[in-house]
Structure 1
Amino acid sequence: MEVLTRKHVRVTGIVQGVGFRPFVFSLATGLGLAGRVGNDARGVFIEVEGAASKVDRFLHGLREHAPPLAAVTGVVVADAPTTAEAGFRIVDSEAAGPCATFVSADSATCAECLDEVGDPRDRRFGYPFTNCTNCGPRFTIVEDVPYDRPNTTMSGFALCTRCATEYRDPGNRRFHAQPVCCPDCGPQLRLTDSKGDPRPGDALDEAAAVLARGGVLAVKGLGGFHLAVDATDENAAAALRERKHRDGKPFAVMAGSLDQVRALCAVNDAELAALTSRRRPIVVLDRLPGARVAPSVAPGNRRLGVMLAYTPLHHLLLGRFPRPVVLTSGNVSDEPIAYRDDDARHRLGSIADAFLTHDRPIHTRTDDSVVRVVEGREMAIRRSRGYAPEPVTVPWRFPSQVLACGAELKNTFAVAKNEDVFVSHHIGDLKNLETLRSFTTGIAHFRRLFDIEPEVVAHDLHPEYLSTKYAADLDDVELVGVQHHHAHIASCLADNGEPGPVLGVAFDGTGYGDDGTIWGGEFLAADLTGFRRLAHLEPVPLPGGATAIRQPWRTAVAYLDEYGPPPADLDVLRRNPDWTAVSALLRRNGHSPLTSSAGRLFDAVASVLGVRDAIDYEGQAAIELEQIADTGEPGGYPVSIGTGPVLHVRGADLVRSVVDDLRAGTPVPVIAARFHNGLAVAVAEVCVRLRESTGIGVVALSGGVFQNVLLLQRLTPMLERRGFRTLLHSQVPANDGGISLGQAAVAGALCRARR
């Protein structure tokens, strides 16, 4: 007989609320091993005893056969004295000790639960809150760790006898599924009017009837309220746009099946994988010609953001309504998503005709995530539901615990310790009290969940950002200011698990430069500890400052002025007769700050071409310029690159070529493509010159401009042909939603350098 051995095992990662303990129980009992397994604040602890060969097989199986929602990041094994223990058991959770476990993200309903919801013989038939250890709400209902029912918003729902039996049975897939419930003991669905008064009839049937009549329906989802209308009904979509005060930004569409998605958009294998993943993000797809979708859903946009139903409630609603629906965040423009019933009625009462809601509380509001697939690789545009708060794990250690406060727009924050950076869900633009409250309460929640007591707090250099002011008000912490574009490049490095150095190309709309000007078209030699500005777009004045961001025609005037008095016969100037006053403003000190922003260059070209003179949301002009470009056009405009210690890239050359072609009658889609192509060539040429002076052969691309797929598809092959290795984002967005990761990475690197 083999000698008995006993091991103490510590498993860390996403191992709570994902069926890990029943998995361990099944693995151990299948091998005839004895011992115990339980949860604590650090993860999962195991004592296992038996023949040495079987214990080895057990340890191998922990990693290789973990449940679908688990993510094992560490397995630490230590010898323990044998006890001749009989049998294997699951023990109660232990709450003591520092928190080191992870919290899993919300997960789309699994196939087994959907089968039950659709089976008239099953006791959960038609129940909109069905879930198990392999699916359902997680992060949005968690109040504290360890992840047990009393620490979730399900604590107020006492289990009925049958659910309690499932919950306690290690052989059942609902064993310790904390949100487990059924029609007898769980949350209940109801349809109300804007005052909260119940509407008669079956809630789902009546909700579908609201959609069929062209009404606006507010739907309480996993992370907050959505607003829904029939995606094929132009009157309904236009009414929603008007009531929500959302003039141009596209709406997302939810489909009840892949057949519905394929009727709207072209879908490749990588996009299909993203659509059907447990995360169920909105995936930006190419719209098919003639797709049956109302024009007001995504006006002027040849792409469509589409997601599949991801909760039983969505499946049941779309099972009663035969067409795709618009499903957009339940808010008024620029406000955070509503997630409490009373707040939703207050803020959405003038928008929604009815409310499909329920009594399961949401602890953390969480927007839908948005991704695009570029060359087979998923790239985040907004990282939130389904992804947060799962960490970005990096190949270096944080010697101090870090809080990174993020940027002003598209804000996320992050907390970091050991090798993990927990990037928050999407917070939004820190413009109003409610968003700021979401930011501050979110930080407090993450600090509690991940047992973080920040010693170092990283922030943007801009003194007026609310995130910067929040950092400055904290006591007993070391403050680390991180330049905005350095944070972008550091974010790309952390996203790829690389320390640098790289040639970082950071193109975005606005960032506070360390010379006091507005940066945004930057070429940096950077690693995680610092950077040097080696080249940038040649600065132009921004007439009226922030007003020019909202009115791209003003930036067009500034670029046209670079070659002398703007030609008054251009359509952009005819459309905007105040251009003479704006031109005069360029010469007044204090009214036209200098900017090297690539985003403003895109704005100027979009306005000159008649695409967009004023914007309704950030990046709109650039997005629409990309939309109209002729992707088959190979030509590009030349750009002069100055010499000297810091290279200047003359963006005005591109604008001048745009004007020349426009006057020559060249089609606007061709001009838009030549602009993109010319800029890509200029970026590649600057990188070649900088490699000659630095010896650096790796390029990192970051900033919101690099969410432009056409630019990426032109630029990355050029860099590869010139012998560069190129780093792109995937886990966090290239836009300001990834800034917090970069800030945390810089702060950690500076701490390591000091030690």
Structure 2
Amino acid sequence: MNALKILTQGIVQGVGFRPYVYRLASELGLKGYVRNLGNVVEIIIEGENTDLFVDRLPKELPPIAKINSMEVESIDESNFTDFEIIESGDSYSGISVIPPDIAICDKCLEEIRNPNDRRYKYAFNACTDCGPRFTVIESVPYDRIRTSMDEFPLCDDCLVEYREPLNRRYHGEAICCSDCGPQMEIYEGLTKIDTENPIRLGAEKLKEGNILAIKGIGGTHLVVDAYNDEAVKELRKRLNRPNQAFAVMCKDLESLQKYAELTQKEIDTITSNKRPIVILKKKDNYPFPDSLSPGLHNIGVMLPYSPMHYLLFDEGDIDTYVMTSANIPGEPMMIKNEEIINGVNDYSLVHNRQILNRCDDSVIRFRNNELSFIRRSRGYTPEPYTINYDVNDLNVLALGPELDVTFSIAKDNIVYPSQHIGNTNKPKTLNFLREAITNMERITKINEFDVIACDLHPHFFTTRLAHELAEKYGADVMPIQHHHAHSVALANDSAIEEMIVIAADGVGFGSDATSWGGEILYTDIKNFERLGHLEPQLMPGGDVATKYPARMLASILKDENLIKNYSSYFKYGDMEIKNIFKQIDAGINVGITTSTGRVLDSMAVALEICHERTYEGECSMKLESAAYYSTNDLEIPAIIEGNMLNTTEILREVVRLYQNGEKKADVAAAGQRAVANGLSKLAVKASENKNIENIGATGGVFYNEAITNTVKNHVESNGFNFIQHKNTCAGDGSVSLGQAIIAKKV
């Protein structure tokens, strides 16, 4: 007989992989065992059909499982009497990963809706094909004792299922029922309400117009009736979020299709077992109040993904709820019952299972029918990326920029990106970053680092943290330019070594110590070269001009009389305008920027679309939405001067057309196209000079579909390949990935 030892790496823990191996081995009459072994699964088999086992193993996997590598070696026979799942070991530290949290499967959903099933209306139903993973795990190997489910010993009925090889709950570490698992409770303020059905009561309170906090799988949502304008406005008031769009959760796809447009790819994504928020275009019969996503032509929507979500819809008669993260803007989501109950909400629907790893909802947008992550988190984290280049053997911890931060851990040719962390200029979020790094070290079993990569900006909190962690680990600090990191994350997506990249966003600290954000870069992964950029503009007041972009418009137009038409956008009117021009002339507290974001924000002011940023990207997003309704193709020339796009002339033409009576939407569309065409011309010129066929687009500006399409069409019409993000974030969420790859390549 043959005897083999097989080591499998990939998503092979917590996904029903060991039960699958057991069933396959038993079917083929093989003896031996399977066990979790650190970060891999070890299989020992002996018998006549070992070759058939090796052939079938990767082809018939459970829904969530994924094998990245499989080592097979012959061993001496041990004369096993049967095949079994044995106790986990901890003696191997290969590359593997715990799967992300997965939406409830159809079988579990059917059970909670079946009055004759013992899990009827149970809010924590799960099996090996679905349910929480990343958010409940403390360390590997993935067994119940190393998860937050350890506090809930299995009852006799669940234990029978757990031990039955043909049951889909066989060795399902998150399984439970109402007799042995977590329980829901509801509070009004600080007072617990005695009720047999907390979820039904929560649905009733939402119908009455109240704000309800719901502690879920990886965090907490604040929930209101999406149709209730008064409730939506009250939620805005309490959160101090006057304008930022709220995401919603819709009961089902059929209800969603009544008010949003969906392509087949969007349908496939929003209904997948990852259940992200997908940004969708509103239909003309959009039924919700303007307060839900003010000034925007689109809305972020997700479908239910946990049992408690489905039960909330089942117990009420509302088909769409606002579901926004329960946190102070810029801070981490609430996960502790005490802080949730003390929040801004009227009622709190909480439970007694610990959330060990916060994980916000993922957000996806499609541009020219291609997926791009705005936020890669629940449903995807901590699934790793592969580095598509030859790399060194250093272990790298990359900390990202400062806003919209993720961090990444790299070992060999694998990068583990974290969940969404947020804005680390907030102390609580910086602490969350520290905690998440510690948690990821335990899960990946990578806790020694040779390099700590960080942003080039010397004053970012993440840069300071890099130096602190370098002392802890005895590692080197490697500062990496922001847009270089963006570019490499994009290049790795398509395994391209050399490319010309258009990097367009709000801000990134440049090699010349000015603020970049409209750049044409060459990169060969290790290095980069700046080949073009937008016209440098002065920022009177520095970051103040970001919050109040009328200041940027004044600086770009360089015409005091012209800017007086916008005096109402300045707190102190004409007097403030005079002082701004004096400030510019004197060069006092005046930064320099090539940011595309600042140009687009200024355009929004010039067209009286938005004059104050109350959330990240607000003015540019509202400009895009205004342009979406354009019906006339106005043209604004993109004037190239050497290796620079003249943005002053673009803004002056925007103002001239608008003051001459052209429609706001048409001028907005023309202004966007001019910037996109200018960046494209610079990129094509650089590609011709370097003889490089691939031109990529990265940075937050490329969430704008119209700008992305304009650049794509220009690049391809000139015979070059257009590369855009497909599996990574166009925005700052991918910076840590790029940093990690650069540190592994140098």
TM-score, with normalisation over the residues of structure 2? 0.97
Of 578, 587, 590 in structure 2, the residue corresponding to residue 589 of structure 1 is 587
How far the C-alpha of 1:48 sits from its partner, in A, is 1.5
Q: In the TM superposition, what whole-angstrom CA distance separates every residue of 1:212-235 from its partner, at most 9, and x where no partner exists? A: 100000000111111000000101
CA contact (8 A) 2:126 2:175 kept: yes
Alpha-carbon distance, 1:574 to partner: 7.0
Match of 1:392 in 2: 385
1:91 pairs, out of 54, 77, 86, with: 86
Question: Where does residue 15 of structure 1 map in the other structure?
Answer: 12
Secondary structure at the aligned position of 1:190 is classed as strand
1:753 corresponding residue in structure 2: none
- Listed one character per residue, the Cα deviations across residues 122-146 of structure 1 (whole Å, up to 9, x for unaligned) are 1001100000000001100111111
The answer for the alignment partner of 1:728 in structure 2 is: 724
The 5 A counterparts of 1:560-571 are 560-561=557-558, 564-568=559-563, 570-571=565-566
- Whether the 8 Å contact between 2:135 and 2:359 is mirrored in structure 1 is yes
The AA in structure 2 aligned to 1:28 is: A
Residue number among 543, 549, 556 corresponding to 2:540 in the alignment = 543
SS at match of 1:399: coil
Distance between the aligned counterparts of 1:200 and 1:380, measured in 2?
A: 41
Name the CA distance, whole Å, in 2 between partners of 1:345 and 1:215.
Answer: 14
Bigger Cα displacement from structure 2, 444-453 vs 234-243? 444-453
Indicate which of 335, 339, 361 corresponds to 1:368.
361
Q: Indicate conservation of the 8 Å contact 2:270/2:278, yes or no.
A: yes
1:432: which partner in 2? 426
DSSP-derived class of the 1:554 partner: helix
1:36 paired to 2:26: no
Whole-Å separation in 1 of the counterparts to 2:631 and 2:483: 32
2:524 to 515, 524, 527: 527
Does 16-25 or 287-296 show the bigger shift? 287-296
- Distance in 1, matches of 2:567 and 2:133, equals 51
3-state secondary structure, aligned to 2:21 = helix
Alignment pair present for 1:378 and 2:375 = no
Asked whether 1:71 is paired with 2:87, we answer: no
Match status 1:145 vs 2:167: no
Q: Which residue in the other structure is 2:612 paired with?
A: 614
SS of the residue corresponding to residue 542 of structure 1 reads strand
Following the alignment from structure 1 to structure 2, what is the Cα–Cα distance between the partners of residues 691 and 496? 18
Partner of 1:740: 736
Q: How does 1:42-61 map to 2 (within 5 A)?
A: 42-51=39-48, 54-61=49-56
Q: Residues 574-611 of structure 1, C-alpha deviation per residue, up to 9 Å, x if partnerless?
A: 76532222122112224111111111000111101101
**Residue in 1 that maps onto 2:316:** 321
Q: Which amino acid aligns with 1:329?
A: S
Partner of 1:409: 403
- Which residue among 483, 486, 495 is the counterpart of 2:484? 486
Asked whether the equivalents of residues 285 and 304 of structure 1 are also in contact (C-alpha less than 8 Å), the reply is yes
TM-aligned CA distance change 1:60 to 1:636, over 3 Å: farther
Cα distance in structure 1, aligned partners of 2:694 and 2:335:
44
CA RMSD of aligned residues (A): 1.4
- Distance of 1:356 and 1:212 partners within structure 2: 15
Deviation for aligned residue 1:504: 1.1
2:298 is the alignment partner of 1:298: no
Matched residue type, 1:83? S
Give the conservation status (yes or no) of the 8 Å contact 2:259–2:287.
yes
Distance 1:161 1:200 in 2: 26
Q: 1:398 to 1:311 in 2, by over 3 A?
A: farther
Tell whether the 8 Å contact from 2:687 to 2:695 is kept in structure 1 after alignment: no
Per-residue deviation, residues 369-425 of structure 1 (Å, max 9, x unmatched): 100122332210011111111101122344111000101000110001122111100
Q: Structure 2: how far apart are the matches of 1:187 and 1:558?
A: 58
Could you say what secondary structure the match of 1:670 adopts? Answer: helix
**Structure 1 residues not aligned, in runs of 5+:** 751-755
Which position in structure 1 is the counterpart of 2:633? 634
SS at match of 2:412: strand
Map residues 145-544 of structure 1 onto 2, 5 A cutoff: 145-200=140-195, 202-323=197-318, 324-346=320-342, 348=343, 351-396=344-389, 397-452=391-446, 453-474=448-469, 475=471, 476-498=474-496, 500-544=497-541
Q: 1:705 to 1:631 in 2, by over 3 A?
A: same
CA drift at 1:566: 4.5
Tell whether the 8 Å contact from 2:137 to 2:148 is kept in structure 1 after alignment: yes
8 Å Cα contact 1:636/1:676 also seen in 2: no
Partner in structure 2 of residue 598 of structure 1: 596
Change in 2 beyond 3 A, CA 1:566/1:451: farther
Query: Contact (CA 8 Å) 2:583, 2:590: kept in 1 or not?
Result: yes
- Tell me, yes or no, if the aligned pair for 2:554 and 2:560 is still in contact at 8 Å: no
CA distance in structure 2 between the partners assigned to 1:268 and 1:114 by the alignment: 26
Q: Give CA-to-partner distance per residue, 1:440-482, whole Å, 9 cap, x none.
A: 1111111121122111110001111000000011211011110
User: How many Å separate the matches in 2 of 1:656 and 1:524?
Assistant: 27
CA-CA distance at 1:640 after TM superposition = 1.6
- CA shift, 1:84, in A, is 4.0
| Aligned counterparts of 1:631 and 1:521: Cα–Cα separation in 2 | 25
Question: Residues of 2 paired with 1:104 and 1:636: CA distance?
Answer: 49
How far apart in 2 are the matches of 1:636 and 1:443? 49
Confirm or deny: 8 A CA contact 2:624 2:704 kept in the other structure.
yes
Query: Identity rate of aligned residues, in percent?
Result: 35
The code of the aligned residue for 2:105 comes to C
> Is residue 367–residue 703 contact of structure 2 (8 Å, CA) maintained in 1?
no
- Is residue 656 of structure 1 aligned with residue 652 of structure 2? yes
Counterpart of 2:533, as a letter, is H
Larger deviation, residues 188-197 vs 621-630: 188-197
Distance 1:386 1:736 in 2: 19
| CA positional deviation for 1:620 | 0.4
- Kept in 2: contact 1:141–1:364 (CA 8 A): yes
* Cα deviation, residue 686, structure 1: 1.1
Cα pair distance change 1:729/1:87, threshold 3 Å = same
Contact 1:39–1:93 (Cα < 8 Å) also in 2: yes
The residue type equivalent to 1:522 in the other structure is E
Deviation at 1:635, TM superposition (A): 3.7
Contact persistence 2:187–2:193 (CA under 8 A)? yes
| Deviations 1:498-519 (CA, angstroms, capped at 9, x unpaired) | 3x21101111111111111111
Conservation of the 8 A alpha-carbon contact between 2:327 and 2:334: yes
1:141 aligned counterpart, secondary structure:
coil
1:573 is displaced (CA, Å) by 6.4
What is the Cα deviation at residue 94 of structure 1?
Answer: 0.8
Q: 1:587 to 1:161 in 2, by over 3 A?
A: same
Does the CA contact (< 8 Å) of 2:600 and 2:672 recur in 1? Answer: no
Deviation at residue 565 of structure 1 after TM alignment: 4.2
What is the CA distance between 1:14 and its match in structure 2? 0.7
Paired residues of 2:557 and 2:563 also in contact (CA < 8 A): no
Q: In structure 1, what is the equivalent of residue 678 of structure 2?
A: 682
Residue of structure 1 in register with 2:120 after alignment? 125
Deviation digits for residues 476-502 of structure 1, max 9, x if unmatched?
A: 10111100111110111123333x211
The change in CA–CA distance for 1:246 and 1:519 in structure 2 (over 3 A counts) is same
Q: Does the CA contact (< 8 Å) of 2:493 and 2:728 recur in 1? A: yes
Give me the whole-angstrom Cα distance separating, in 2, the residues matched to 1:573 and 1:699: 42
The answer to whether the 8 Å contact 1:404/1:413 transfers is yes
Asked if 2 retains the 8 angstrom alpha-carbon contact of 1:42 and 1:100, the reply is: yes
Determine which of 696, 705, 727 is the counterpart of 1:709.
705
Q: What is the CA–CA distance in structure 2 between the aligned matches of 1:568 and 1:46, rounded to whole Å?
A: 73
Shift of 1:684: 2.0
